[in-house]
Amino acid sequence: MREKECQAPIHSSDCPCQKCHRESCGNCHLTNIDHFTPRSIAKKVLGWKPKQINSPENLQYLSYQCHRDKDATTPDRLRLGLAQKRGRFVGLDDYLDIL
């Protein structure tokens, strides 16, 4: 993620955050392209190739703040994903605790 710089390859008149729906891009530098499934999880847990990781189906617009908040949970989500991959039962409560 680039700090406060929109990563959208093409700007529409407004690129609303797909989570909070409040901020729009329009070159205001407040919307980021986010990987729905974070790159680290896609690669280390799911074994995705770069083409899959960066496919349009795995990208979404998020406001800078929503993107930052989501990124803060990635290390914990990666830890749970790797534990699950190793055969440990990971329940919904485990994920809810980090959100």
Residue 90 resides in a domain: no
For residue range 21-48, what is the model confidence (pLDDT) as tens digits? 655 544 455 667 788 899 999 999 999 9
Report residue 59: phi and psi, to 5°: -115, 145
Q: State the Cα–Cα distance between residues 67 and 91, nearest whole angstrom.
A: 24
In a domain, 94, yes or no: no
Q: What is the domain range of residue 58?
A: 1-71
Tell me the C-alpha distance between 9 and 33, whole Å: 9
With respect to residue 43, please indicate whether it lies within any of the assigned structural domains: yes
Domain-embedded: residue 89:
no
C-alpha dihedral sign at 77, 83, 87, 88:
negative
Contact 51, 42 (CB under 8 A): no
The number of domains in the chain is 1
**50 compared with 13, residue with greater pLDDT:** 50
Q: Please give the model's pTM, rounded to 2 decimal places.
A: 0.69
